[in-house]
């Protein structure tokens, strides 16, 4: 993999306390962080709603130290990335932006894992661009479409955010995002992230999630290594809705007891180790 223009090549393999590198991207589409310097193996981590790329900061160095370059973009309308127009707001459009982001890295093998909404984006990317995804992962996500009740709930939430901003999502959302085990440490952090999220990005993603199709068949038929990580105490997507995989290589499945919707915060070592096992299967 050649380093794309505007990028500084990694100089050393990161240790457990290595810092993210914030780099420019030639397309200037998505803001992102990068760690590691592996030439052929890239792990792309896609954040959920209404969060941003910083959720991966506690696991990225451990994953990179195992031999992959880790890239974490901000999806359009979140973090430091420009918004996507509401009229363009489909899960497929987000997947197109991620595909544009990945292409300049010219990696031979790209493992893509998405958290929650990011999992929906990863599924759409695997369906639209199977050549761009060598391994597919879902973290606290699902393959099914929304029920009619869930769709109505998302549209009701859109109207609340329009009227009152992202504070309308509080306090209930922070409680659902972070399980009881990490409540004291992490719920204030989740609350702050929700408050700082941009209303236009939150609304666009809600509309995209409400309209997404069922992609269970996409996941079940995916030819490469698959990853499923889910917590038993997930307050947003029950563990009963997690994708099913056989617990044997090259697939990797981890059901984490007592963990909520943010396993990369609540169980960072277990989450990172599962991602490493899954990404390393591409080398076998």
Is the pTM of the predicted complex or chain greater than 0.95? no
pLDDT at residue number 284: 66
pLDDT at residue number 283: 77
**Greatest pairwise CA separation for the chain in angstroms:** 52
Q: What is the average pLDDT across 62-86?
A: 94
For 257-270, the DSSP string reads TT--S-HHHHSHHH
Map out the domains of the chain as residue ranges.
Answer: 21-144+213-283
Average model confidence (pLDDT) across the chain: 90
CA dihedral 116→281→247→140, nearest 10 degrees, is -10
21-144+213-283 placed in CATH 2.40.10.480: no
In this structure, are strands 69-73 and 32-35 parallel, antiparallel, or unpaired? antiparallel
Percentage of the chain with pLDDT > 70?
90
Within a 10 A sphere around the Cβ of 198, how many other Cβ atoms? 17
Q: What is the average pLDDT across 225-238?
A: 97
pLDDT at residue number 35: 95
List phi, psi (to 5°) of 216: -60, -40
DSSP assignment, residue 130?
G
Q: What is the pLDDT of residues 8-40, one digit of tens each?
A: 333 223 333 344 455 544 445 799 999 998 777
Q: pLDDT at residue 271 above 90?
A: yes
Q: Where are the beta strands (DSSP E) in 141-214?
A: none
| Between 249 and 86, residue with greater pLDDT | 249
Phi-psi region of 203 (alpha: psi -120 to 50; beta: other; left: phi over 0): alpha
Token pair of 83 as six digits: 């918004």
pLDDT at residue number 10: 31
């Amino acid at each position: 993999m050649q380093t794309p223009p505007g990028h500084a090549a990694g100089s050393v393999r990161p240790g457990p306390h290595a810092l993210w590198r914030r780099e420019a991207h030639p397309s200037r589409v998505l803001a992102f962080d990068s760690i590691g310097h592996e030439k052929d193996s890239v792990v792309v981590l896609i954040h959920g709603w209404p969060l941003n790329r910083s959720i991966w900061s506690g696991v990225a160095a451990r994953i990179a130290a195992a031999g992959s370059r880790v890239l974490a973009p901000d999806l359009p309308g979140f973090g430091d990335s420009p918004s996507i127009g509401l009229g363009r707001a489909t899960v497929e459009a987000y997947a197109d932006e991620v595909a544009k982001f990945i292409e300049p890295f010219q990696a031979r093998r790209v493992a893509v894992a998405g958290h929650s909404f990011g999992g929906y984006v990863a599924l759409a990317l695997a369906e639209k661009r199977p050549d761009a995804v060598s391994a597919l992962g879902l973290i606290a996500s699902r393959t099914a479409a929304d029920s009619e009740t869930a769709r109505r709930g998302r549209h009701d939430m859109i109207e609340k955010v329009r009227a009152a901003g992202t504070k309308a999502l509080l306090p209930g959302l922070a409680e659902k995002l972070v399980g009881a085990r990490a409540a004291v440490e992490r719920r204030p952090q989740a609350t702050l992230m929700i408050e700082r999220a941009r209303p236009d990005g939150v609304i666009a993603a809600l509309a995209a999630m409400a309209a997404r199709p069922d992609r269970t068949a996409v996941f079940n038929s995916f030819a490469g290594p698959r990853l499923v990580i889910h917590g038993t105490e997930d307050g947003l997507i029950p563990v009963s809705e997690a994708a099913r995989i056989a617990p044997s290589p090259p697939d990797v499945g981890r059901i984490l007891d007592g963990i909520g919707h943010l396993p990369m915060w609540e169980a960072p070592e277990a989450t990172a180790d599962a991602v490493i096992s899954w990404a390393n299967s591409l080398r076998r």
